[in-house]
Structure 1
Amino acid sequence: MLSTVTCRALAIALIGLTLTNSVQGSNHPISNDIVCPANSHVSFVHNSYTYNAPLNKFTDITGSFFNISWYANTTVTSTTGTDNVPGATRSGPFPGAIFNETLTAFEKRSDALLFSYHGKGLAYTMGPGYPVVIVDGYSETMRFQSICGGKATYIDVLTYTCVDNQPLMYTIWSMVHTSFNGVAQTFGATILAGDCPQEAHCDKN
């Protein structure tokens, strides 16, 4: 007979394997972490938002890797590959630099949109009075998830950056991520504080 401790250990291991297989089976980008050069530091920003509007309201605007005019007023001027197919690239002007990004993962379902991309290094400036931030590379993962029985949307964004100024980089990305508020305002979506719309049955998964 196995001891109680051994049984518990086996149960925990089995749960871990089940969860790992479940995540891998969904094709969700598990980790978008990056390795930075010696003169740079890893900085990450995690922001999340919940709005009183169905998923398609957001994905109709944000669902193209080649169109990010909604994101920090950025435009794409050059692309390669096929839109929304991993390996596709996009580039365009960024304050003080040119961004170059490659799509690394993309998944679209009826209840979610998930995508990840990596960006090459650039020098960024917020404007007069701010120092130039040297970025040696970055990666970002976005997830748009239908919640509250399809009546609301949860947005999750995680950004890793190799940078010489971590506090300023955190501020910059947090400002860029407020673009989701601008998207929501275009169709009158309101921010949810934690409760689903009363007429909806909330799926909290």
Structure 2
Amino acid sequence: MLSTITCRALAIAFVGLTLTSSVQGSNHPISNDIVCPTNSRVSFVHNSYTYNAPLRNFTDITGSFFNISWYADTAVTSTTGTDNVPGATRSGPFAGGVFNETLTAIEKRSDALLISYHGKGFTFTPGPSYPALRFDGYSETMRFESICGGKATYIDVLTYTCSDNQRLTYTAWSTVHSSSFDGLAQTLGATILAGDCPQEAHCDKH
């Protein structure tokens, strides 16, 4: 018979595997394939949002890898390759640092837009009350999906990072995600959906 300590250890391991499978199997084409250097650990940030506006309203703004002024007021100052073709790169200033990102996957359909990219390591300052934060590489996938019979949009963002400060990393990415997508929704005049589809339309996302 297994000891109490062994049973608890197995239970903890099972929960950990379940959570990992759930995150890495969330319909994203790229799971955690980043390799962190010494003194840097892998962590992830997962946020989702639902807004009362058609998908096209969002993808008309977010559909270009080379144009991300809507994302945390980020300016792209240099690019290589062809926009929206995997292998293209973009770079620019961000909070005292310089980001360098490479497009790894993109899928455009009438009912969805999915973009994945990898970023090189860089150091930036999240805000006046925070210390400088170093990323030793990251990968991010954004998925925009039409829901509620085309009347609303579901947005899902999954970010993997290499960092030596997990708590601040989570806060920084979550803040960037929420401010960017909420700001974009406000620009479009879109309200947050609490779970009911607009005008009693059929909702196909749970």
The TM-score, its normalising length taken from structure 1, stands at: 0.84
Q: Does 1:107 align with 2:121?
A: no
Measure, in 1, the Cα distance between the counterparts of 2:105 and 2:117. 7
- For 1:131-142, list aligned pairs within 5 A: 131-142=131-142
Measure, in 1, the Cα distance between the counterparts of 2:129 and 2:57. 38
Deviation string, structure 1 residues 55-104 (Cα, Å, up to 9, x no partner): 00000010000000000000000000000000000000011211000000
Deviation string, structure 1 residues 22-50 (Cα, Å, up to 9, x no partner): x9xx9x51424422112101121000000
1:15 is aligned to none
Measure, in 1, the Cα distance between the counterparts of 2:30 and 2:85. 18
Measure, in 2, the Cα distance between the counterparts of 1:114 and 1:144. 6
2:122 is aligned to 122
Question: Percent of aligned positions with the same letter in both sequences?
Answer: 82
1:96 is aligned to 96
- For 1:13-92, list aligned pairs within 5 A: 29-92=29-92
Q: Which amino acid aligns with 2:111?
A: D
- For 1:108-187, list aligned pairs within 5 A: 108-178=108-178, 179-187=180-188
* Displaced runs of 4 or more, over 6 A: none
Measure, in 2, the Cα distance between the counterparts of 1:201 and 1:128. 45
Measure, in 2, the Cα distance between the counterparts of 1:123 and 1:44. 18
Q: CA deviation at 1:203?
A: 1.8
Q: CA deviation at 1:204?
A: 2.5
Secondary structure at the aligned position of 1:182 is classed as helix
Secondary structure at the aligned position of 1:198 is classed as helix
Q: CA deviation at 1:176?
A: 0.5
Measure, in 2, the Cα distance between the counterparts of 1:191 and 1:73. 21
- Gaps of at least 5 residues in structure 2 are 1-24
Q: CA deviation at 1:134?
A: 1.3
Secondary structure at the aligned position of 1:186 is classed as helix
Q: Which amino acid aligns with 2:197?
A: C
2:7 is aligned to none
How large is the Cα RMSD of the aligned pairs?
A: 1.5
Contact 1:32 1:141 in 2 (8 A): no
Number of corresponding residues: 180
Contact 1:32 1:140 in 2 (8 A): no
Q: CA deviation at 1:161?
A: 0.5
Contact 2:108 2:114 in 1 (8 A): yes
